[in-house]
A = this chain, B = another copy of it.
């Protein structure tokens, strides 16, 4: 995988680690469920805000063994959804996205191309089937079938920086 980023596919200014970070395998994950969404390669919104603007809802389908973990969640609640976006190389430590004015380090980007391709979005629970383990969510930019890694309650004192105020 690292080879592809050091050859003709790389854009100007991009830098490869020169190894596949996933091959280090220093920690292991399990899949807890999957995203069901209208999106696939070429049709997915570029980010969660754009997904929300489409008005298209989505859902999380938990694997049966993880369904008891829903106890205590409620409709209307905001959650952090962590999902696995390992669809490409993981070694591009400096990237040149079209929307930036020059190369950026991966830790300054929300790109799915990163050493650990864990994506993160704050979504709202719109429906909850506690028996089937199906969580309706207001929006997602994730492709249909994307593996879900974790769900956490969104808590302002942990998830919003101190003193931040929304515009307008």
Contact = CB atoms under 8 A, between A and B. Distances in A.
Contacts of A118: 82, 118, 149-150
A160 B166 contact: yes
Interface string A53-77: 0000000000001101111110000
Contact of A158 (B70, B122, B161): B122
* Residue from A84, A94, A114, A118 whose CB has the most chain B CB atoms within 10 Å: A118
A44 interface: no
Given A73-B105, A161-B78, A29 B27 contact: yes
Given A66-B115, A94-B68, A109-B72, A120 B30 contact: no
A159 interface: yes
Interface of A: 15, 17, 19, 21-32, 47-49, 52, 65-66, 68-73, 78-80, 82, 84, 86, 93-94, 100, 103-110, 114-116, 118, 120-124, 138, 147, 149-162, 164-166
